[in-house]
Each structure stands twice: as C-alpha cells, then as structure tokens.
Amino acid sequence: MSKPLALPPSRSLAISSVDEVLALVRARGGRATASRRILLEVLFDADGHLSAEELAEAVCARAPDVHISTIYRNLEELQRLGVVVHSHLGHGPATYQLAALAHAHLICEECGATIEAPDELFRPLARAARNKLGFTIDPHHFAILGHCESCGR
C-alpha cells in the first residue's frame, strides 16, 4: 500500500507566491522548470479546484509542448512538498488546489450542489477519532455526500 502524497493540512506549508514555491523546490534538490512555473501560476490564479486535465489545458494554452505526464509528475512533487493537495469531490476526477486554501466539502447527491464546509465543523469528529481510535483524519481529501437543505425536504 502506498503512502498518501499530500501532507496533512496542519503540516502544509504557508506559501504565498510562485517564487517561494520554486525556492522550496530548489532547496529540496529539485529544478525550477518553465513547465513547473507555469503550472504554479495556473494554480495561484485558479478560482477553485481544477482536475489534472483542466490544469494541463491551462498550461498547454501557455506552453503547448508540455505533456500531461509532466503535469502529473509536477503535481505529485508539489504534493510531496506540501504545497498542493488533491480532493475527491464526488464521482469526478481528483481536483487540485494550493494546500493553504484547502477546505472540506459537502456534496448533495440529489442536485450536485457543493458546499465548502468550515474546518471547525469537523473538529469534534477529528478529536473523537484521535482519542478513541488513535486516528488522525484529513477532512479535505474526500467530500461528504448527503442532501442539501433544498433536496432534503
């Protein structure tokens, strides 16, 4: 079984610019490539979650020679560094965002509405899981499915 690539949110890095991420990459022995810089620019400019395919499309709009395998390798490395996290929001592909912006999600199974849930909603669950089971949860990784107020009536 493989280890998760992303650091838990409490250990994620507070990075505020593309140049800071590239400095971290270099400090850890990596290279600050043009494709990595463009991917980071797309992530920093994003208004929400993007799939690897959406990220690849945005990167290729700026640099058509970048292959999707390069996007996946860069995302994997950025997750290992704690800069990027991925989430599973329902039945679609994994989505990516900067770790500093990570949050939990509630997805309505009826209408598909996505609600960004505040972390404090999950603190009692996280505390109970840690105290009773010795388990640390990451509420940002998977969405919680259910029914929104409108569909639950």
**Domain-wise residue ranges, the chain:** 9-101, 104-146
Q: What is the pLDDT of residues 36-87, one digit of tens each?
A: 999 999 999 998 889 999 999 999 999 999 999 999 999 999 999 989 999 8
Per-residue pLDDT at 148: 93
The top-level CATH class assigned to 9-101 is: mainly alpha
Q: Which of 92, 108, 102 is nearest to 139 (CA)?
A: 102
Over range 6-16, report the average pLDDT: 51
How does residue 88 score in pLDDT terms, banded at 50, 70 and 90? confident
How does residue 4 score in pLDDT terms, banded at 50, 70 and 90? very low
What six digits make up the tokens of 83? 């800069």
- The bridge status of strand 144-146 relative to strand 104-108 is parallel
- Whether the per-residue pLDDT at 2 is higher than 80: the answer is no
How does residue 9 score in pLDDT terms, banded at 50, 70 and 90? very low
In the β-sheet with 144-146, what is the strand arrangement from edge to edge?
Answer: 114-117, 104-108, 144-146
Gap between the Cα atoms of 86 and 26, Å rounded:
22
Q: Which residues contact 111 (CB under 8 A, 6 or more apart)?
A: 148, 150, 151
Identity at 27, one-letter amino acid code: A
CATH no. of 104-146: 3.30.1490.190
Over range 90-105, report the average pLDDT: 86
